[in-house]
A and B are shown apart, each in its own frame.
Chain A
Amino acid sequence: DAMVIQNPRYQVTQFGKPVTLSCSQTLNHNVMYWYQQKSSQAPKLLFHYYDKDFNNEADTPDNFQSRRPNTSFCFLDIRSPGLGDAAMYLCATRLGLVVYETQYFGPGTRLLVL
């Protein structure tokens, strides 16, 4: 089945140690999103790619970076994780050509910072 896959599902890292979260999709969608969701809060958009074009949200910290080497894969890099970066990270995709297209979410990666 076509889907959005996130690896790993759980990630433990140390304070200040760089970490990379992975997202892949078999939907062949043009747009890929990364959201941060802290406990009992709304998902917050960090950035998105339309094809190779990167769109950063104005309030996304510089500590967060992203790479999209091809259509299928997108990575979230946290250069120096702080305790406040512990959260669920959600990847989503959208076809992107029509504004009424829905977003398809992966299961998320829960990040713990020690």
Chain B
Amino acid sequence: SQQGEEDPQALSIQEGENATMNCSYKTSINNLQWYRQNSGRGLVHLILIRSNEREKHSGRLRVTLDTSKKSSSLLITASRAADTASYFCATDGRGTGANSKLTFGKGITLSVRP
């Protein structure tokens, strides 16, 4: 069964605005990761947050994790047209070592208008 569920499914904003994307999941996790995928391309890893962390920053990205609510959010500040892409959350379950696996959500399509 699918682990991550992103919300909203599609988001359209003006360049310079902030974009907030949410992800909910169902079972216990080791960590949660966010990936970006440009149209027709592979996935690019953005940020990883461990289950014992609540917030993490990387450049214009801010990720929060609430394990009690089984949810995460990705905030992109001061968005740019180049941020237009699909964004996926992926949960890394309770497997160990090489047997841990990512389960992806369906993704959020972000459009940033110039």
Which A residues fall within an 8 A CB radius of B?
Answer: 4, 6, 30-31, 40-45, 48, 50, 55, 88, 90, 92, 94, 96-100, 102-108, 110
Contacts and interface: CB of A to CB of B under 8 A. Distances in A.
B104 A99 contact: no
A98 to B, nearest CB: 8
A90 B42 contact: yes
A48 B42 contact: no
Give the interface centre of B33, B88, B95, B98 by most chain A CB atoms within 10 Å: B98
Nearest to B104: A42
Interface in B2-42: 2, 4, 30-31, 33, 35, 40-42
Contacts of B58: none
By size class, the interface of chain B is 20 to 34
Contacts, number: 65
A94 B41 CA distance: 19
A31 B98 contact: yes
B48 A102 contact: yes
B42 A105 contact: yes
Contact of A48 (B92, B97, B101, B103): B101
Contacts of B105: 42
B53 to A, nearest CB: 11
A106 B37 CA distance: 11
A30 B40 CA distance: 27
Nearest to B94: A99
Contacts of B95: 99
A14 to B, nearest CB: 22
Given A42-B2, A43-B88, A108-B41, A100 B48 contact: yes
A78 to B, nearest CB: 19
